[in-house]
């Protein structure tokens, strides 16, 4: 194993933010900071914490007080992840619509690949102590991530889960940097890892304009009943969420939706030469 520069590891890990939603116990925020700092993560975003600030945060954070100063407080999950490219929602339970689900290790490998090769911003979102994330919050994620545990016992508390996710993020970073440092190392990269993308990827915020557009288009052509869309919006999020569209693809698809809408409401007409041809 090569010698890895600790500061460089932390620099990569600065692109991974931990997001805690509606946390009740300040002690859990403090423990989370400590867990993050032991592994070199630095960015914690709190979505509407129940109690903040609180001396328990400082007490449990031990020496990680510099991270307390960097905490970002926002009002909604939307605000916490809007500039992120890849969002993981943590989920212990099986949901009605299964989402693309990764174990902590491949999720961390995917994340750090995206950071090192494409400077992506990553978020891992943790829910409330008692009931986790809502289905709406989980639907904002590209992937769900789970930590394999003893199913006869139950789940980790939120600080323990952050500890293991942070550990896997660090391990994945060191592994990738090791590969870079040693040119003779066998590059067991998958297609996805090997792919250096030519176009920048769209952010979560842009995708939040994408979904209303495709839904409106499908409502226009009566493929979806907006009053009773059933599982369709969720299926679309699951499908396009795991693609990670680049900007050109994004504009390509939105262009198609706009054309279909214009065709549907008569503001766009087929050109003369084609008008008499049957479309099979």
Structural tokens at position 274? 């084609």
Is 270 a binding residue for a second copy by CB under 8 A? The answer is: yes
Q: Distance (Å, rounded) from C-alpha 178 to C-alpha 214?
A: 42
Neighbours of 184 (CB within 10 A): 5
Helix H or strand E segment including 241: helix 232-241
> Looking at 14, 68, 74, 232, which residue binds a second copy (CB under 8 A)?
232
Q: Find the shortest distance in angstroms from Cβ 79 to a second copy.
A: 27
Q: Which of 102, 118, 128, 129 binds a second copy (CB under 8 A)?
A: 102
Q: Which of 27, 73, 92, 167 binds a second copy (CB under 8 A)?
A: 167
- Distances in whole angstroms, Cα of residue 21 to Cα of each of 8, 70, 187: 29, 17, 38
Please report whether residue 194 would count as binding a second copy according to CB under 8 A.
yes
Considering the complex, what minimum distance in angstroms separates the CB of residue 73 from a second copy?
23
CA distance readout (Å), 277 to 144, 175, 268, 271, 272: 47, 58, 17, 11, 10
Distance CA 238, CA 87 (A): 12
Report the site for a second copy in 250-269 (rule: CB under 8 A). Answer: 252, 255-256, 259-261, 263-265
Q: Applying CB under 8 A, which of residues 51, 59, 98, 182 lies at the interface with a second copy?
A: 98
Q: Scan residues 61-90 and list those touching a second copy (CB under 8 A).
A: 63-64
Q: Which is nearer to a second copy, 60 or 80 (CB)?
A: 60
Nearest distance, CB of residue 81 and a second copy, angstroms: 21
59, 190, 209, 247: which one binds a second copy (CB under 8 A): 190
Three-class secondary structure of residue 47 per DSSP: strand
CA 55 – CA 46 distance, rounded (Å): 16
Q: Does 154 bind a second copy (CB under 8 A)?
A: yes
Residue 214 neighbours by CB distance under 10 Å: 20
Residue 76 C-beta: closest distance to a second copy, Å: 26
Using the rule CB under 8 A, give the single segment among 47-55, 82-90, 116-124, 146-154 that binds a second copy.
Answer: 146-154
Which of 152, 181, 229, 233: binder of a second copy (CB under 8 A)?
152
What's the rounded Cα separation, in Å, for the pair 267 and 74? Answer: 42
Q: What is the CA radius of gyration of the chain?
A: 22
160 near a second copy (CB under 8 A): yes
Residue 100 in the binding site for a second copy (CB under 8 A):
yes
**In the complex, minimum distance from the CB of residue 6 to a second copy, in angstroms, rounded to a whole number:** 5
Residues in region 17-36 near a second copy by CB under 8 A: 35
198 binds a second copy (CB under 8 A): yes
Could you count the other beta carbons within 10 Å of the beta carbon of residue 243? 13
Distances (CA, A) of 14 to 27, 131, 166, 197: 23, 28, 11, 21
Which of 55, 75, 130, 188 is close enough to bind a second copy by CB under 8 A? 188
Residues numbered 119-138 forming contacts with a second copy, rule: CB under 8 A: none
């Amino acid at each position: 194993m090569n010698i890895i520069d600790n500061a460089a590891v932390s620099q990569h890990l600065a692109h991974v933010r931990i997001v805690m939603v509606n946390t009740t116990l300040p002690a859990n925020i403090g423990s989370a900071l400590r867990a993050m700092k032991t592994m070199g993560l630095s960015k914690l975003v709190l979505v509407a914490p129940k109690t903040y600030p609180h001396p328990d945060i400082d007490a449990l954070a031990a020496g990680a007080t510099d991270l307390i100063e960097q905490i970002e407080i926002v009002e909604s999950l939307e605000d916490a992840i809007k500039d992120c490219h890849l969002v993981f929602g943590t989920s212990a339970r099986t949901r009605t619509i299964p989402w693309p689900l990764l174990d902590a290790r491949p999720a961390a490998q995917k994340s750090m690949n995206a950071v090192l090769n494409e400077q992506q911003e990553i978020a891992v979102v943790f829910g409330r102590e008692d009931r986790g994330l809502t289905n709406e919050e989980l639907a904002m994620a590209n992937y769900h991530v789970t930590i394999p545990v003893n199913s006869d016992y139950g789940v980790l508390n939120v600080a323990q889960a952050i500890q293991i996710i942070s550990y896997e993020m660090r391990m994945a970073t060191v592994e990738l940097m090791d590969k870079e440092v040693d040119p003779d190392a066998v590059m067991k990269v998958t297609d996805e890892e090997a792919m250096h993308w030519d176009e920048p990827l769209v952010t979560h915020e842009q995708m939040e304009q994408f979904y209303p557009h495709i839904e409106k288009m499908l409502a226009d052509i009566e493929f979806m009943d907006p009053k009773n869309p059933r599982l369709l919006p969720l299926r679309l999020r699951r499908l396009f969420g795991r693609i990670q569209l680049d900007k050109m693809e994004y504009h390509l698809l939105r262009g198609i939706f706009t054309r279909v809408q214009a065709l549907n409401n008569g503001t766009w007409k087929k050109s003369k030469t084609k008008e008499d041809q049957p479309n099979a």
